A = this chain, B = another copy of it.
Amino acid sequence: MFRLQKDMSYLMPVHFGGDRFDTSYQARQKATMLAVTFETERAALERYIPEELELLAPEVKVALDQLTEINWLGGGKYNLVTVSVPARFNGKRDHVDAAYPLVVWENRTAPILTGREQTGVPKIFADIEDLHVFRPYYATSLSYEGNTFLSMQFEAGGPITGTDLERMKLQIKSLDFIGWRYIPKVGAPGADLSQFIHFPQWMAVERAYRGKGTLQWTELSVMQNPRQHHIIKALANLPVKKVFLSILAEGEVVLDTTKARVLE
């Protein structure tokens, strides 16, 4: 019969075996990141912020990451788009500032599963085009079963250099997340597990470009996207008060999964 081993970490299906829990493990990958950040109305945004968190600024960052040479995926690749806000967890014990992801779309299932089950990152699936690059223009689209719901465009200005680049390297270095891991009860409303989790990650930036980014949301009907239409609607309806300077950066992204911890 199959028996669980004490020092192992498992994901479903469990009975084919797990991985030894190893704190030296880090998920590493090459990344091209395109981040578009805008200011919105605080009240509109706070509707989606749980009471355990404090919204540090009414700002929404929409960031595409195109990941390649991923160590834990045998050198494979995937794309993701993170919609996050700056937040503070104020618990009995922990007081932590980090990005709170409202939603993360990814075009590969394996990291969706690990992200949700290990660290409470609210990942869901979408088709995400690799960046089309017709310099200085960059573009990608997110779609669900043939229906586009987000177009991202970027027109690159000059490269960021010197002290500006050094400042940006420091600024981007921390990409820590606060995840809300929520596993429902079986056969009843409510949760069997509801935890806030601090998940350390960072990017070592090698090159970066300033530029003009744009976001274009298209709402979808229930039939076009039955499980996500309300998320798209919520984000598409956030007022855009100001779009900040957008950034395209290349470098290495590291996820320090085993250093994640439950916040209290």
User: Closest Cβ of chain B: how far from A40's Cβ, in Å?
Assistant: 15
Give Cα A3–Cα B52 distance, bound, in whole angstroms. Answer: 10
User: Closest Cβ of chain B: how far from A26's Cβ, in Å?
Assistant: 13
Q: Are A129 and B146 in contact (CB under 8 A)?
A: yes
Give Cα A20–Cα B171 distance, bound, in whole angstroms. Answer: 42
> Residues of B contacting A113 with CB < 8 Å?
112-113, 116, 124
Q: Are B73 and A12 in contact (CB under 8 A)?
A: no
Q: Are B141 and A183 in contact (CB under 8 A)?
A: no
> Residues of B contacting A117 with CB < 8 Å?
116-117, 183-184
Q: Are B189 and A119 in contact (CB under 8 A)?
A: no
Q: Are B186 and A262 in contact (CB under 8 A)?
A: yes
Q: Are A187 and B76 in contact (CB under 8 A)?
A: no
- For the A-B complex with A2-B48, A16-B103 known, give 12 more contacts whose Cβ atoms are closer than 8 Å: A2-B47, A4-B190, A7-B189, A10-B184, A68-B133, A74-B132, A74-B223, A117-B117, A117-B183, A129-B146, A187-B259, A187-B260
Q: Show 27 residue pairs from A and B whose CB-CB distance is below 8 angstroms, ordered by the A residue.
A: A1-B50, A2-B49, A8-B189, A9-B184, A10-B184, A11-B184, A12-B181, A12-B182, A13-B103, A68-B130, A72-B226, A74-B223, A75-B131, A75-B132, A109-B112, A109-B124, A110-B125, A113-B116, A127-B146, A129-B145, A129-B146, A141-B146, A143-B146, A147-B148, A186-B261, A187-B262, A192-B195
